[in-house]
Amino acid sequence: MRVKSDRIDEFLSRIRTEVYPGLRKEKGFRRVYLLRDAINGNQFVSMTLWNSKADADAYESTGHYSENTDMVKDLLEEDPTASQLEVEYHTVGRALTPPPAVKKARTTKRRPRRK
């Protein structure tokens, strides 16, 4: 999606508050990513992941996809394009090790030893 340069903040707000919350209610919806082009800051890709192709197709055939694109269409330079992709390979990297905990200095007073 190519967003009008002076409407990017409004686009992001609508996506976060109006479009994406409804996706959570869709059958088979797994995850959503909004990717922004690092060079052309007004270009975005919205990527949704579904349990199955049937779930993604149902989302489109119910008209919910059209309703969602209509919510931001006035902020775009042109109509968005849609593609369906299938995952051929997926892996997850090793989890990052959390940073070591900062040890706090002991503030308790020690009692003197009795002789």
Q: What is the pLDDT of residues 26-42, one digit of tens each?
A: 999 999 999 999 999 99
C-alpha 95/C-alpha 115 separation (Å) is 53
Mean of pLDDT over the chain: 89
Phi, psi angles (nearest 5°) of residue 72: -120, 0
Of 71, 57, 61, the residue nearest 22 (C-alpha):
71
Q: What is the CATH number of domain 5-75?
A: 3.30.70.100
pLDDT of residue 13: 97
Mean pLDDT of 95-109: 68
Residue 57 has pLDDT above 60, yes or no: yes
In the structure, what pLDDT confidence band is assigned to residue 111 with cuts at 50, 70 and 90?
low
Question: What confidence category does residue 94 fall into, taking pLDDT thresholds of 50, 70 and 90?
Answer: confident
Q: For the segment 63-80, what is each residue's pLDDT rounded down to a tens digit?
A: 999 999 999 999 999 999
Residues β-bridged to residue 34: 46
Helix (H) or strand (E) holding 45: strand 44-50
Give SS3 for 41: coil
Helix (H, G, I), strand (E, B) or coil at 42: coil
Taking the domains of the chain in order of start, what are their residue ranges? Answer: 5-75
Q: In the structure, what pLDDT confidence band is assigned to residue 99 with cuts at 50, 70 and 90? A: confident
Secondary structure, 3-state, 15-40: HHHHHHHHHCCCCCEEEEEEEECCCC
Closest CA to 86 of 59, 53, 55, 60: 53
pLDDT at 106 over 60: no
